[in-house]
Amino acid sequence: MLLILTPIFHPIAVAAGIGPVLVGVAVTLQVAIGSATPPFGCDIFTAIAIFRRPYAEVVRGTPPFIVMLLLVAITLIAFPPLALFLRDLAFHG
């Protein structure tokens, strides 16, 4: 997903004045949401294999995590400096 989406969104984001680091964080977060979302999220099938639980039981446990990931995505979109805080601390401190 990242190898396909990053070259598509990078030029669009740069043209819109959005930093490439923020785009990388946002795309990575969206991929994490997709991998945890039923019915075909790869994280679900990994949990089934590791914990040896039925599909329905694993899917019932995913909503809190999906809600948390969505809240983080909304927060980062609303407040972009949060996504860049550690980068700025490391390279401009």
pLDDT in 10s for each residue of the chain, 93 residues: 778 878 888 899 889 998 888 888 888 898 899 998 988 889 899 999 999 999 999 999 999 999 999 999 999 989 988 888 888 888 875
Nearest to 73 by CA among 39, 9, 7, 28: 28
C-alpha span between 72 and 7 (Å, rounded): 23
Cβ neighbours of residue 24 under 8 Å, at least 6 residues apart? Answer: 6
